[in-house]
Structure 1
Amino acid sequence: MTAAFDPLVHAPHRLQICAILDTVERAEFALLRDQLGVSESVLSKQVKALEDAGYVTVSKGLRDRRTRTWAAFTAQGRDAYRGHVRALREIVGQAEFG
């Protein structure tokens, strides 16, 4: 995987979503919403952008007799996120602190 700055991933809410999804197989929308501290509509918009890029899949199913929505990384999404993190590390590594 090569380092590649990805403006789609870099947006703050999408970066947070990706960071969560990188640690789990899938995440329920309610968890993402609560972790980000955003409304359902804001979360849906950010996840939709990732889904349209092929980075995330969204699925629905029943749990506790209620319909739940989950998001999960695709292989392309995980690679894009990890490449973006690698690019950020390279940028930070080049900075001089003084």
Structure 2
Amino acid sequence: MARTAGAGVSEHPAAGLDETVHQRHRLGILTIAAEAGKVDFGYLRRTLDMTAGNLSRHVTILEEAGLIDVEKGYEGKRPRTWITISPAGRKALAAEVAALRALVSAVERAVPARPRTT
């Protein structure tokens, strides 16, 4: 039986997704920063295949939300920007992963797995 949108819409797992975190580039930034501990702006730019300006905008959004910390300095004579995930960022990333797992679980319950054909 098909479910229709109505009073229980906010209970759907998709409601748990955070727009600030969920956007694919920002999710990538948070994930890489969580894995690396401290990550160089240039590494993020290359890994996520983004322009410097686009990455800068997403970094600013995450920094303003308190999800990352940005440190500017020098490595030798070269200016560098390093990004680290904040405790709030780790919490937001964990919540996003939990929401994604709940969403996948809901889909798996709704759509029975097809038998494999070989």
Scaled by the length of structure 1, the TM-score of the pair is 0.91
Q: How does 1:1-98 map to 2 (within 5 A)?
A: 4-95=16-107, 96-98=111-113
Greater RCO (Cα-Cα under 8 Å, separation 6 or more): 1
* SS of residue paired to 1:86: helix
Residue correspondences, number: 96
Percent identity, aligned pairs only, is 35
Q: CA deviation at 1:94?
A: 1.3
Where structure 2 has 5 or more consecutive residues not aligned to the other structure, the ranges are 1-12, 114-118
Report deviation, 1:55.
Answer: 0.4
The 4+ residue runs of structure 1 with deviation greater than 2 A are none
Provide the C-alpha distance between the structure 2 equivalents of 1:46 and 1:28, rounded to a whole number of angstroms.
14
Q: What's the RMSD between the two structures over aligned residues? A: 1.4
SS at match of 1:22: helix
Quote the offset at 1:82 in angstroms. 1.1
CA shift for structure 1 position 97: 3.9
Q: Structure 2 length normalisation: TM-score?
A: 0.76
Larger radius of gyration: 2
Gaps of 5+ in 1: none
2:116 alignment partner in structure 1: none
